Chains A and B, each alone.
Chain A
Amino acid sequence: MQNAVEFHEVWKKFKKGEKFDSLRDSIPNFFKNLTHKNREIALSEHEFWVVKNVNFTIPKGGVVGIMGPNGAGKSTILKLLSGIMSPTKGRMTINGRLSALIEVTAGFHPELTGRENVYLNGAILGMKRREIDRKFDEIVDFSEVGEFIDTPVKRYSSGMYSRLGFSVAAHMDPEILIVDEVLSVGDIAFQSKCAQKMRELLGSGATILLVSHQISLIQSLCQRVLLLNHGELIKDGPTDEVIPYYQNITFRKNEEDFKHKVKSEQGKVKINQDLALEITDVVLYGRDLRPREEFAPGEDLEIKVDYNVKQEITDPIVIIDIIRSDGVLCCSINSKESGKALGKLYGKAAIKLTFKGLNLAPGIYLTKVSFWEKEMIHPYIVHSHNVIRVIAGKGINLTNAVFFPEVKWGS
Chain B
Amino acid sequence: MLQALKELIKYRDLFYMLTLRDIRIRYKQAVMGFLWAIFMPIVAVAAGILIKQAMAVVSGHSIDMLSVVSISVKVLPWTFFISSIRFAVQSLVGNSNLVTKIYFPRAVLPLASIAACLYDLAISVVVLVVILCFVHLGVSIYILWTPLILLFLVFFTTGLGLLLAAANLFFRDVKYVVEIILMFGIFFTPVFYDADSLGRLKVFMLLNPVGSILEALNHAVVLKQMPDLHWLIYAGVTSVVMFYVGMLVFHSKEQSFAENI
User: A residues bordering B, Cβ < 8 Å?
Assistant: 14-15, 23, 26, 30, 33-34, 79, 82-86, 100, 102-103, 106-107, 109, 111-112, 116, 119-120, 122-129, 152
Chain A residue nearest to B10 in the complex (CB): A126
Most-contacted residue by chain B among A30, A107, A116, A128 (CB, 10 A): A107
Asked whether, in the complex, the Cβ of B101 is within 8 Å of the Cβ of A111, the reply is no
A100 and B28 contact, Cβ closer than 8 Å, known pairs A84-B258, A109-B21, A129-B16: no
B128 at interface, CB cutoff 8 A: no
A182 to B254, CA, bound (A): 27
A124 touches B24 (CB 8 A): no
Complex: A100 Cα to B258 Cα, angstroms: 16
Chain B residues near A124 (CB, 8 Å)?
14, 17-18, 98, 102, 104
Q: CA A23 – CA B11 in complex, angstroms?
A: 34
Instruction: Tell me the minimal C-beta distance from A256 to chain B in angstroms.
Output: 29
- How far apart are the CA atoms of A89 and B25 in the complex, in Å? 41
Point out the residues of chain B lying under 8 angstroms from A119, CB to CB.
Answer: 17
Contact across chains for A106 and B101 when beta carbons are under 8 A apart:
yes
Determine if B252 is an interface residue (Cβ-Cβ < 8 Å).
yes
Please give, as numbers and ranges, the residues of chain A lying within 8 Å of B11 by CB-CB distance.
126
Q: Is B140 an interface residue (CB 8 A)?
A: no
B24 in contact with A123 (CB, 8 Å)? no
Total A-B Cβ pairs within 8 A? 77
Do A100 and B252 form a contact, CB below 8 Å, given A85-B258, A109-B25, A123-B18? no
Of chain B, the residue at the smallest CB distance from A119 is: B17
A/B interface sample: 27 pairs, CB < 8 A: A33-B252, A82-B103, A83-B103, A85-B255, A85-B258, A86-B256, A100-B102, A102-B102, A103-B97, A103-B101, A106-B97, A106-B101, A107-B102, A109-B21, A109-B25, A111-B28, A112-B21, A112-B24, A116-B20, A116-B24, A119-B17, A123-B16, A123-B17, A123-B18, A126-B11, A129-B16, A129-B17
Q: What residues of A have a CB within 8 angstroms of the CB of B64 in the complex?
A: none
Q: Is the CB of B102 within 8 A of A34?
A: no
Give the residue of A30, A103, A123 whose beta carbon is less than 8 angstroms from that of B14: A123
**Nearest CB of chain B from residue A158's CB, rounded to whole Å:** 16
| CB-based contact A116/B21 at 8 Å | yes
Given contacts A120-B18, A123-B13, A124-B98, contact A84 B25 (CB under 8 A): no
**SS of A interface (majority):** mixed
Across the interface, name the chain B residue whose C-beta is closest to A86: B255
Which chain A residues border B97 with CB–CB below 8 Å? Answer: 103, 106
Contact with A along B18-34 (1 / 0, CB 8 A): 10110011001100000
Bound form: Cα–Cα A112–B27 in Å: 11
Instruction: Decide yes or no whether B100 CB sits under 8 A from chain A.
Output: yes
Q: Report which B residues bind A (CB closer than 8 A).
A: 11, 13-14, 16-18, 20-21, 24-25, 28-29, 97-104, 170-171, 249, 252, 255-256, 258-259
| A112 touching B18, Cβ below 8 Å | no
Find the B residue at minimum CB distance from A27. Answer: B171
Asked whether, in the complex, the Cβ of B249 is within 8 Å of the Cβ of A34, the reply is yes
Which of chain B's residues have a CB closer than 8 A to the CB of A82? 102-103
What's the nearest-Cβ distance from chain B to residue A330, in Å?
A: 41
Closest to B22 in A: A109
Query: Contacts of B25 on A, CB cut-off 8 Å?
Result: 109, 111-112
The distance in angstroms between the C-alpha atoms of A210 and B198, with both chains bound, is: 67
Judge whether B102 and A106 touch: CB under 8 Å: yes
CB distance from B154 to the nearest CB of A (A): 22
Cα–Cα, bound, A125→B24 (Å): 20
B20 vs chain A, min Cβ distance (A)? 8
Q: Report the minimal beta-carbon distance from A39 to chain B, rounded to whole angstroms.
A: 9
A195 to B192, CA, bound (A): 64
B258: A residues at CB distance < 8 A = 79, 84-85
> For A152, what are the chain B residues with a Cβ–Cβ distance below 8 Å?
28
Instruction: Tell me the minimal C-beta distance from A150 to chain B in angstroms.
Output: 13
Contacts of A83 in B (CB 8 A): 103
Q: Which of B13, B17, B100 meets A84, CB within 8 Å?
A: B100
The residue of chain B having its C-beta at the shortest distance from the C-beta of A30 within the complex is B170
Distance between Cα atoms of A79 and B103 in the complex (Å): 9
Interface pair B252/A34, CB less than 8 Å apart: yes
Evaluate contact between A107 and B259: CB separation under 8 angstroms.
no
Q: How far is the CB of A308 from chain B (nearest CB, A)?
A: 57
In angstroms, Cα B21 to Cα A152, docked, is 13
State whether A111 and B249 are in contact (beta carbons under 8 Å apart), knowing that A85-B255, A106-B102, A126-B104 are contacts in the complex. Answer: no
**Given the complex, which residues of A lie within 8 Å of B17, measured CB to CB?**
119-120, 122-124, 129
Chain A min CB distance to B102 (Å): 6
Chain B residues with CB under 8 Å of A106's CB are 97-98, 101-102
A14: nearest residue on chain B (CB-CB)?
B259
Task: Give complex CA distance A218, B106 in Å.
Answer: 33
Contact A103 B24 (CB under 8 A): no
- The residue that A23 contacts in the complex, of B14, B18, B171, B256, with Cβ under 8 A, is B171
A105 to chain B, nearest CB (A): 9
**Contacts A14-B259, A112-B24, A120-B21 hold; do A125 and B252 have CB atoms under 8 A apart?**
no
